[in-house]
Amino acid sequence: MDVMDVKEEWRQNYHEADVVIVGGGVVGCAVAVAMGKQGRSVFMLERSLKEPDRIIGELLQPGGVSALEKLGIRDCLEGIDGVTVDGYQVIFHGEGVHIPYPENADDTPNKHPKGKAFHHGRFIQKLREAARRTPNVTIVETTVTDLVKNEWTGQILGVASETNKEKDYYFGHLTVVADGYASKFRKETITRKPEVRSKFWALELIDAQLPQPGHGHVILTDGPPVLLYQIGTHETRALVDVPENLPSASVKAGGVKNHFRNVVLPSLPKGVQPSFAAALDKGGFKSMPNSFLPASTNKTPGMVLLGDSMNMRHPLTGGGMTVAFNDVVMFADLLSPQNVPSLADTKKVMQQMSTFHWQRKSLTSIINILSMALYSLFAADDFKLKVLQRGCFRYFQVGGSCVDGPVGLLAGIIHQPLTLIYHFFAVALYGIWIMISESRLWMMPVSFVASFGVLIKACVVIMPYVFSELRS
């Protein structure tokens, strides 16, 4: 009996493996494939293996596509009626600017980077098929109910679960918790709770006529932003940001549906309005909280958090899966048999997880900070933020490096955090210059004084997120 057969016997008969993964979504499947290919014995436990029906996780940036290639599962993007994405179109009060992904950007092997948009559930099923085909991986449909812990040392030994109403247990040297944004095991290692400032409400539009096909669209008006991107041959996803206590979405004003019809619908491009109105009439809207949770170093012996259970940011920039797949690439490399011969060596695993926490920030800090800072600008609700919002749009209109830099960061193909800081404050200064230059002569002194407030506001917007990335 060879080693692989022995490992499979231990998984089948004793429910023991090297790795127990909680969650069979984006991260869980990717970790299962990566670790299984390394010869690790893997359990992937998922509550339901039916095709999920979610409204987030439908856009993969070029940096995420590149990570999929490194994991050897890029083919999961095929056969799901996905749509190639070439960049963005930002529409500011009816005026548009084209923002293509940059050619020859840093850290990308492709001359023409491309993203992909798709139905989330179809993509997940492809990932699960890839995990199922991978040697050393066993997938089990079971509901994980608790962690199994050594009460003397605090070491996580595995999990308890319920399968067909019967108690079950799965043990491993390392338990990877990847149970998503609503993780029930996060509290075991992280004390900070996710911050929720708004929700995305989703509609599925049929045969919408987008101004720039093959591009994500960001609609900016006096209200919160709206995102549009095609996810299939006929389907386009509309995500409407609704902050807490938004007056036009209050019960008194007629609720969310009334906000969609009276505020959002008139602000959309003409070619989108008929399909949006039809989706409104159909109803059945879904919502998802837009959460922020900075990553913390994994310090619980025998357990690691990955994906949204560890780190979340506003989905405005569509960077969540790009972060997830790049995290898995780095995670698998740091814990490869060459670096960690045995995952039972808890001390070595924890040392590698400390390295992981800081090494991942060359990409993840960019996407985390950018998503939260851009949301503050795009959902501008005061004069200073609106100055920054207009400065951002006009900055994009300049073109050249003023587009290539920001969208290269957003796409996950430029891994230089200082480049983000440079462009953010360049936007702030450009917005200030526009405010002063467009002022009437007698108002210029007032605008000059106001410029200091705008610059301070820019610091208030971005610096808390910068500091959050510097914590362990």
The parts of the chain modelled with pLDDT lower than 70 are 1-5, 104-111, 472
Give CA–CA dist 34/472, Å, rounded: 26
The model scores a pTM over 0.75: yes
pLDDT given at position 111: 67
pLDDT given at position 2: 61
274-286 pLDDT per residue, tens: 999 999 999 889 9
Q: What percent of the chain has pLDDT over 70?
A: 97
pLDDT given at position 108: 47
